[in-house]
Amino acid sequence: MPRGHRTFLQRLESMTSIRDFAAASISVPELGEAYNFAVNELRKFRDIHIQIISRYIIRPARKYAPKEDTGRNLAVATSTAPDKEFHGTGGTALLPFLRQSRDETKNTALC
């Protein structure tokens, strides 16, 4: 690994977060811009993730909800009733969790 890269990573390890590093580097405005760009791209990824979950998990599960839990796959297993709340693999409420993650990501952008 080039020395400059190694030094940069070692410096990041000593800080509390990358956001703090970018915010503290006011003498290098490009760093803040790059940080905000990365945050925005991650937010876009989270938006697309929500769309994919909606299209390929939630809509089909609501359309073809079985009478009982068959445990065949995530879409079927989480939707034994059309109004049942969907849960992710970690047991969290699926859409509220994904939306919260997206919103928290967006809120980390620097002003």
In a domain, 76, yes or no: yes
What average pLDDT does this structure show over 9-27?
A: 87
CA dist., res. 76 & res. 85, Å (int): 12
Confidence of residue 88 (pLDDT cuts 50, 70, 90): confident
In a domain, 4, yes or no: no
In a domain, 60, yes or no: yes
Confidence of residue 49 (pLDDT cuts 50, 70, 90): very high
Domain count, the chain: 1
In a domain, 1, yes or no: no
Q: Which pTM does this prediction carry?
A: 0.69
Domain that includes residue 85, residue range:
32-106
Cα separations in angstroms, 86 against 71, 73, 76: 14, 13, 10
In a domain, 61, yes or no: yes
In a domain, 7, yes or no: no
Residue with structure tokens 């299209």? 55
